[in-house]
A and B are shown apart, each in its own frame.
Chain A
């Protein structure tokens, strides 16, 4: 599914530059659920952004589903993101003037799907996250957990190969976090490959594999026994 070799990334800071990723090798197979952990500044978010094609590496190879991702033009990146990737953000990143249904339908709009089909599909995904009755509500009328579920529905709508989550539970209380995690686990059970950045140990333990980063290198890469989130709900 995902193959990364000797990935480097630096950010210029004034005259010098900050070397954030110092040669990352990572391979993720279909159906995996990986947590990327590390303290702030370890490069975990940068890695996720590069995987999400929101940022570009300076050096190294990145192969997604057999396709080499490099020298991306803006247009190409947009198409790949739309086709391959679904994003879940810590702050949900819903468009505030669009209701739940419209937010979920947005990636489908960029796929060029017609309106009717878009709405049907968006409604289907909203139903899946249990928010069918909230379809016409604006983000500000929904709770944090509900908003994150809308965001998940949106990430799923385009049927991506890979789901990327950046601190998906970071803005939520423990109970809601567990609900969301239970939901993400369910998606993984259904076969979705999931990559998640988190700094919470218990959330990481709900994944199947933990990759620990420190100072831009992978310190540890271990398979773990998945803790099911349902038991806490």
Chain B
């Protein structure tokens, strides 16, 4: 039941004892503010780790083929494993929906020239899907499409830095580059968040590379992404299954580590980063807990002080007929009111500070520091409850003081 008179008493008490209210309020506001900032920074660190990982799609898997290192089924050591486009079709059929994107990756380094500028770049023969596996963003023009694969055209998509290196200030799209004496038309320029190396690659339809330089259906290596709905462990399971099936298909000894290497570097890296993240995730509650404990201790101290200060007042009130319950509730509600309001203020200040300095912290590996509002609300509630308990114990004690003792102390 809402007791207007009780609240009037409380507001008067707060109003007339501003120093006291400010003191306890400051502790709470400060604790919540620190909590918000520390939590925000910890989250910012975690965001940074996540950002580091956008180089390639998180679910990317590379399959590299080499020579056998172990004899198997009467076959010799040193046999070159050469997958063809048939194997791409096999993978697609075998794993179906578990594979999201699938591409060849036929890479060689070549001299590339444009007018007077030249340089050595990695040239990769890929499928249209590769754009999504590599998370390449088209800046200009387009990526390789299915029509290019079929027509085996001499065209290419170049990285942003290739354009910068060779074309200087010109736009590359529509121009021709010289790749070991063969003219390739630039149809697109891409950018890639994965770093400079990723932006110094030239992509060509894999069929073009096959026709011009290999003269066979060798597809080099295979890149793919698994279904993003799968979690890491499912992803790792898929990689394992794929390894077994491919080794079987190419008659490679199951314990041969060199003939077929399924590079789930992305996966292992993700696993490692997840460990760091979970380390941070474990650290965050410790930080939060510590700050809250400090806040709780602060409030407890102040509440004890407040009750001591009010002992005489409590004695007077009791002599005038205040019940123990009313003594407890007046002290408790005052403490709860102060903690709630100042806790909220501290929260706003903390969030404000995070907003204000958040973007300038990027060089300290803190990206977009922010705090989940549900965590903040929980923290504030915890502090309110703590304040209430901290207030309740001395208030209860005070309500039991014989008024005569309380009055004598005055």
- B13 beta carbon closer than 8 Å to chain A: yes
Q: Mark A70-105, 1 if CB is under 8 A from B, else 0.
A: 000011001101110001010101110110001000
Among A52, A79, A94, A154, contact of B323 (Cβ-Cβ < 8 Å)? A79
- Residues from chain A with a CB closer than 8 A to the CB of B323 are 74-75, 78-79, 110
Q: What interface size band does chain B fall in?
A: 20 to 34
B326, A49: Cβ atoms closer than 8 Å = no
Tell me the residues in window 22-54 of chain A with beta carbons closer than 8 Å to chain B beta carbons. Answer: 49, 52, 54
- B78 beta carbon closer than 8 Å to chain A: no
- Residues from chain B with a CB closer than 8 A to the CB of A109 are 5, 9
Expressed in whole angstroms, the Cα–Cα distance for A107 and B316 within the complex equals 10
- A127 beta carbon closer than 8 Å to chain B: no
Question: Closest approach, in angstroms, between the C-beta of A169 and any C-beta of chain B?
Answer: 18
Expressed in whole angstroms, the Cα–Cα distance for A111 and B312 within the complex equals 21
Question: Closest approach, in angstroms, between the C-beta of A26 and any C-beta of chain B?
Answer: 19
B407, A93: Cβ atoms closer than 8 Å = yes
Select from chain B the residue with minimum beta-carbon distance to A138.
B16
Among listed B211-219, B220-228, B397-405, interface-contacting one: B397-405
- Residues from chain A with a CB closer than 8 A to the CB of B317 are 95, 106, 110
A74, B321: Cβ atoms closer than 8 Å = no
Expressed in whole angstroms, the Cα–Cα distance for A68 and B59 within the complex equals 84
Question: Closest approach, in angstroms, between the C-beta of A27 and any C-beta of chain B?
Answer: 23
- Residues from chain A with a CB closer than 8 A to the CB of B160 are none
Question: Closest approach, in angstroms, between the C-beta of B147 and any C-beta of chain A?
Answer: 86
- Residues from chain A with a CB closer than 8 A to the CB of B312 are 93
Select from chain A the residue with minimum beta-carbon distance to B16.
A97
- B89 beta carbon closer than 8 Å to chain A: no
Among A95, A107, A110, A115, contact of B326 (Cβ-Cβ < 8 Å)? A110
Question: Closest approach, in angstroms, between the C-beta of A168 and any C-beta of chain B?
Answer: 14
- A230 beta carbon closer than 8 Å to chain B: no
Expressed in whole angstroms, the Cα–Cα distance for A91 and B403 within the complex equals 14
A158, B321: Cβ atoms closer than 8 Å = yes
Expressed in whole angstroms, the Cα–Cα distance for A94 and B316 within the complex equals 7
Among A49, A74, A93, contact of B316 (Cβ-Cβ < 8 Å)? A93
- B410 beta carbon closer than 8 Å to chain A: yes
A110, B324: Cβ atoms closer than 8 Å = no
Between A49, A89, A109, A154, the greatest number of chain B beta carbons within 10 A of the residue's beta carbon is seen for A109
Q: Given A74-B399, A89-B407, A98-B12, are A107 and B320 also a contact pair (CB < 8 Å)? A: yes
Q: Given A110-B320, A115-B5, are A95 and B325 also a contact pair (CB < 8 Å)? A: no
- A55 beta carbon closer than 8 Å to chain B: yes
Tell me the residues in window 105-119 of chain A with beta carbons closer than 8 Å to chain B beta carbons. Answer: 106-107, 109-111, 115
Q: Mark B285-311, 1 if CB is under 8 A from A, else 0.
A: 000000000000000000000000000
Expressed in whole angstroms, the Cα–Cα distance for A54 and B405 within the complex equals 9
Expressed in whole angstroms, the Cα–Cα distance for A107 and B322 within the complex equals 8
Question: Closest approach, in angstroms, between the C-beta of A151 and any C-beta of chain B?
Answer: 10
Chain B interface (Cβ < 8 Å from any Cβ of A): 4-5, 8-9, 12-13, 16-17, 312-313, 315-326, 399-400, 402-404, 407, 410
Q: Told that A49-B404, A55-B404, A115-B8 touch, could you supply 20 new A-B pairs with CB distance under 8 A?
A: A54-B402, A54-B407, A74-B399, A75-B323, A75-B325, A78-B321, A78-B323, A81-B320, A82-B321, A83-B321, A93-B312, A93-B319, A98-B12, A98-B16, A107-B321, A109-B5, A110-B320, A110-B321, A115-B4, A115-B5
Nearest first, the 8 closest Cβ-Cβ pairs linking A and B are: A82-B321, A97-B16, A54-B404, A110-B321, A107-B320, A78-B323, A74-B324, A49-B404
Chain A interface (Cβ < 8 Å from any Cβ of B): 49, 52, 54-55, 74-75, 78-79, 81-83, 87, 89, 91, 93-95, 97-98, 102, 106-107, 109-111, 115, 154, 158
